[in-house]
Each structure stands twice: as structure tokens, then as C-alpha cells.
Amino acid sequence: MTGKELDRSVHVQLRTLSKENAEGVAKHLVMAAVQLEADDMDAALAHAETAVRRAGRVPAAREALGMVAYRMGDFARALNEFRTVRRLSGSSHLLPLMVDCERGLGRHARALELAATPEARTLADDERIELAIVLSGVRRDLGQLDAALLALQLPALQRGPKAGVHRLQYAYADTLMALGRVDEAREWFQKAVEGDTENETDAVERLDEIDGIDLTDLGPEEDDVVAPPQPSPTEAHGSPTPA
């Protein structure tokens, strides 16, 4: 890892550091992301904490630490880091995760208040989608299923399979299931399947459940059964006797 793998915007932030320190922090940020991808939380945390110790006023470093804490379920620490990122950068792009942290801490009223702040209207399209999914989850936690469904009814819901909105469509289908609207849920799970080329969701399994298919009960088809290897004449009757 050289540190050059980082996005250009992060390198811009690192210009506030000395050249040597910037290079070191960059490498730690890359390794934090790599270990996070590999689900090695302890290693990811160590790299992120080192980056923050060396560059505490660099938003990207605080965001990395926040992301690791979030993945570890340490919502209080993650929320603190995300707030720091917003204060240092002036950006609200982490607002959906901040709302989810409040939800994870059981502070649903505060989550709803945060989601309704003016900053929410400044989010990019993909961030608004993430906020809608989180907000729907808050409503479901509160037993407000109709409100949960309404939160997901964004114009993006109607986009085609190549638009990258399968997580939104999945959440919509899941909420329809919770409401007992099975036929509609099946339609939206199918849409999610068509767009989920990386298998980020279990939409295929959910469709199978609706259709009453349990793959664990299905034995191998006749053509899939592999016959045991037959012994050669030598193996069957022993080694040939030398002449």
C-alpha cells in the first residue's frame, strides 16, 4: 500500500500535514479501509486510531475511525466522530449514518429530529436514499409501518435495474411484507433481484420464501449425482504378477 490509492479529495485534506506525516496517514487510511473490507475490525480500528492520532483535524481520518466504530456497533463513538467530521468539513454527507447511530442508541425521537433538519435537504441523491432507508427503519422500530413505507416512496424507487437503487427497493419490499401485502412485496423483491448484481441483499431467498421453495429440502437432480469411480482391472484384482 502506497497511500496513493486514496481519493484525490482525501489527498487535498492531507496537504495540511507535513509531507512525511501525510504519506504515513494516507497508508493508515488505506489499510483501515482494506481491513474493514476484510472484516478484521481490530486491525481496522488500530489503523484508524493511528491516523487520528497523527491527523486529528483531518476529516477523512475522523471519518475512517467513525466508520470502523459504526461497523463494530459502537454507535456512541461513531456518532461523536461523524459530528466531528461535519464540524471540520462543513459537510452533512454522513447524516444518514448519524441518524442510524441515534437509532442504534435507542434514541428514536432524536433520530427523527436529526433526519428532519435543513441539512437533510442538501444531501446528494444517493445520500437521500440512504437516509430514507434509515428513517424507514426508525419508523418500523416504533411500530409505524405505514409511515415506514411512506418514507421509502422516493422517485428513485421507480428507476430501472441499472440505477443502483436495489437496496431501496428491497427495503420497500420488506416493509410491504411486514404490512401483509405479499403480492406487492414479491413484485418489489423481484425488482431488487434484477438490480442486485453483487448479491448485497437476500432478495433471492426472500422470493423463494414467498414462493414456498426451501432449497435445503431439494435433493440433487439425477443428472447432478456423480457416480463413484469404478476400479480399474488392476485395482480390482490386485497388481499383475511379474512374468
Residues 6+ apart with CB under 8 A from 178: 140, 145, 148
pLDDT band, very low/low/confident/very high, at 5 (cuts 50, 70, 90): confident
Backbone φ and ψ for 59, nearest 5 degrees, come out as -55, -40
pLDDT tens-digit profile of 155-210? 999 999 999 999 999 999 999 999 999 999 999 999 999 999 999 999 999 999 99
Task: Look at residue 237 in the predicted model and tell me its pLDDT.
Answer: 39
pLDDT at 222 over 50: no
Q: How many residues does the chain have?
A: 243
What is the pLDDT of the chain when averaged over all its residues? Answer: 89
Angle at 70 between CA 156 and CA 5, to 5 degrees: 80
d(CA 52, CA 21): 12
d(CA 188, CA 210): 12
pLDDT tens-digit profile of 71-105? 999 999 999 999 999 999 999 999 999 999 999 99
pLDDT band, very low/low/confident/very high, at 148 (cuts 50, 70, 90): very high
pTM, two decimals, is: 0.83
Q: Which of 132, 71, 120, 57 is nearest to 93 (CA)?
A: 120
d(CA 136, CA 153): 10
